Structure 1
Amino acid sequence: MLSYMIFIVILVSVNGYVTNSMYDASMRQQTRTTIQAAITQIKDNVSYKTDDMIRISSLLYDDYNLVRNLKSRETGRDQYYRMAQLIAPKLDSASKSIGFSQRLFVYFHNETIDEVYQTRVDGDPALLEQTYDIYHLSRIRDQEWYKNFPKEEYSVTMQWKQVEKDGAENRISLIRRIVDTSNPLKLKELGIMRFSVRLKDLFESVDYAKLGEGSMLSVMSEKGNVIYTSGASEGNLIDSESLKNDYIKIEEKMGRQEWTIVAHVPVTIIAQEAQKVRTFIISVCVLCFILFTFAGIFISRYFSIRITKFVSVLNAFREGDLHKRIAYRGKDEFSQIATALNGMGEDVEALINKVYLTQLQKKEAELEMLQLQINPHFLYNTLSSINRLAKFGENEKLQKMVVQLGKFYRLTLNSGRTLIPIISEIEQSNAYLDIQKVKYGQRLEVLFDIDANIWPYETIKLILQPFIENVLKHAWWGDRIHIRIVARKEGNDILYRIIDDGMGIKRKRFGEIFAPAGEAETGYGIRNIDERIKLQYGAEYGVSIVSRPGIGTTVQIRIPAKKRKLYPREHSSAI
């Protein structure tokens, strides 16, 4: 019961830990996915606005009539007509074509074009939105942002940058050239256009509230500089070491602008939910532990009382008292075992009496006695395993093992016959392996390779099972073992082979098995079967073993091919 309790504590604890870990990982993944989707939407909203500004600038960039008029040098009425009817309307339309406030500044090389600009005074900044200003390029020729502007690549070169008063007014500008494309090999600069927009208008969708309280959203330039921040005291945590441990960081890159939207979400949001689930899981684990404990005590006592009865009868059989019987009522598997045990005791007792009363020949008596030494030993070991399963509360394995044990003994009894059909011997071995599979599970793999031509022949019973049992006792080499059972007809003989990939047998032990010194117990089961076969068929038949340490062992059993006799109600089902 103590072992069972330790097992339950470990099982429940591991289950609780794994469940909590999986939930925490799932919550983090779900939160990350949700935040990623929100950031993607924010990125799309910002991209929509920037793309809209690029689209408006492209209308001016690709306007052939505007370029033609910017190149010409008009004076007088022609110059007035050019400004009033051609240039000014286009710039005014461009400044008002975007759905949010902006300012358009253009700088022309052609100084025949008049400068037009708004008077900047302190007051409502909104009065100066959606306007355009025209300057001569000489005003900015010495400015660093103009001198460092990249070389022109048709319809590609543009730059988002804070220039002039953008920094002080929390604005950012889209800067592009106006070029003469009449010579594609040499694009000539006619001017510079600068669309200035407020950061809060451009990044209106960059709102930390969409991610949760305590979150922070930042827009970073390609050089890692902060362009815009929302939340967490407006970016006070940008350089904080706590971001690494207390926040989840998610990034989303924008396309043409080469900006990166960075989100920092506090892990406390996840931790609060995880704590609720952790408390629930711990409560369930404690409850399961209590229930399993009481169930284990009850089931252990229920089965151990019954198993003790079987063990006591088996011990009596081992001591030679074949008169002891089990009084058991019911229709469950224990009833089948009790019936099989009582029947076995009666059969063994009757057989012994028959041997002594009729004074059978020595050869037949020795054969029967060697055979009868196997069943009680196997049954005792199996019932001991059942007893352990009952103590540990492994009820499903217990039930399977008891059912297969009943099947094994139904096949073993065979109306007391020594010679049985080969198919019955194969079925008997399969029943034994089914019992062992309950015990070992997937660690045991078995393959039957049976020639159908051997079914008409008979064999001594219980010559395969002891070798299979020997493999499971002594051949383990690692955590798994494979057994292959082969049955073939070769000439006038039947050959069985039991092949395993276990640890093998050292060569010096072969002598101890087949030629022991004194009453050595090593190889007793192997010698038992070998002697039974030789007593029944002659010295040319029996058991041989080939083994290599670390590779495996092959046991070969040779008997003559003798066709079986038919008995009433003979069991003839196939595997």
Structure 2
Amino acid sequence: MKFIPFGWKLFISYLVFIILPVVILGYTANSILVDSMRTQTITNLQGTLAQMRDNVSYKLRDTERISDMLYYDEALALSLRSSEEGWISYEKTSTTLLPKFRQAVESTNQKLWLSIYLRDLNLPEVYYDAGPVDLLKVKGKYFDVYHVNRIQFEDWYRNFPPEKYGKTMKWSQVDDDKQFERISLLRRLVNTLDPLDLKEIGFIRGSIYLSELFESMDYNKIGPGSRIEVVDHNGQKMYNSSELNAEGHSVKRNESASSELIIHEEIPELDWSITAYVPQGILEKGVQKVTQLTLSICFLFIVLISAVAAYFSRYISKRFGKLISVLVMFQQGDYHKRIHYKGTDEFTLIADALNKMGEQTEHLIGEVYETNLKKKQAELESLQAQINPHFLYNTLSSISRLAKFGRVEQQHEMVMNLAKFYRLTLNDGQTIISIYKELEQVKAYLDIQKVKYGDRMEVDFDIDPEILGYETIKLILQPFIENALEHAWCGDRIYIRIIGEQREDKIIFQIIDDGIGMKSQHAQSLLKKDRIKPKGYGICNVHERIQLSFGEEYGVTIYSQLGIGTNITIIIPVQKMDEISPMKSDFG
């Protein structure tokens, strides 16, 4: 049979060598253009931030200019260097000092609070006493006149640097500046008439709002999603402008963010720094069009080249798709699906082989499943059949003894309880019953034993009512109670406690007695299938039936100590019986 080999069909892969040069050329051209536009964008952003810094510096210098008006005013210095009392002092204040201070405040468009502290205590103080109210916000700009002894014990005044003519000044937050978000220019008034003896004659404090100082720092000038922060020399954030902050939300910056461009500018007058955090999206905004154009051109070439190969790839992919779908179904355990191809090529041979393999595997799985199912059912029926004859023999022996001694009432009661027990045990041949019926069965068995042992036997139930509607295999509790009543007596009495509860997806029963107990080795041997001694076979029986029905993670565990007693733990899964309606517990 002649056909085109599968390997020849893969020649389409060589189209990569045609597409690759197009991709490399487009990538190289795009990289050059993108780098150029990114550089231009960064330069523009740096220029914008520098302009913001210049605006801040202008406002700072404007405040310094106002202080220069007072610092270099010789008439003011002449008025403050001499001290007179009485009418002369009042006239000097009203005709010389106050007009000059008012003129200085009125010469700026900023909101400015000018506080003048004078050495001459003979001059009167002129100020507003507004308590905790921020007068600068109310008045916009004004001035106060105080005596210097009001600030002589302030640290910022005492630690003010030595005077250098025309140069000594300092921007700082003092007194209530932090509370009202202001900053103050601090500067001495000295006797400028004698530059060799710059004696202090007063002190200037000019306060302005940080919000007004940094008014030009708007994140919108950088771009959406950006933020601008002003940090002092101690690293404390003094101002922030961002989209979240503008909406009234708190702003928390991710210090480890690697997708932001960070630009710094220094404010020399304050020794503060301005930092702009620019999202990568802003940088990419200018290059998106270039990238899209490059991609469009490359895409057109690739589409034209790929169109030729589309027909061949579709032909091959359809055949591969059918094979893969069959293999996936086989992997999931479904061997019913078959596949057929026209023609005589490799796909036809593979399809025939897969069809035969699926048919054979499905047949083998069916045989193995049916065999295992029959084997498991036979084991369960065999184990179930071991329980009843043993119990029936012991009970009939007890009834015989009661008849022998003429105890008719007790004999009748035991016969009725035995009938009830076997009615519950048979349960129309069902091996799966509700926990409620299983406990009813235990109670019927205990009623039988109560006739036999009387007050020497004490039994307590501690059952969670929520578990009564779940299902279990039958006769998993009675064999352990029977075993305790046969072998666990310590003296002439015994106490047995039966506990049932749900823990996550498991139902846990515990049967606890205060009998003679047993050695740990003997307790573990009771669960082994290959035991030689027939004593306690019911325990192993229950353990095997639980594992056959629910799996090896469930079953029976035994903990016992000689002279103390035995604790039997039985674990089964939580399985709800839909036909069982909620019922009242009789096993509290």
TM-score, L = length of structure 1: 0.47
Q: Which has the larger radius of gyration?
A: 2
TM-score, L = length of structure 2: 0.46
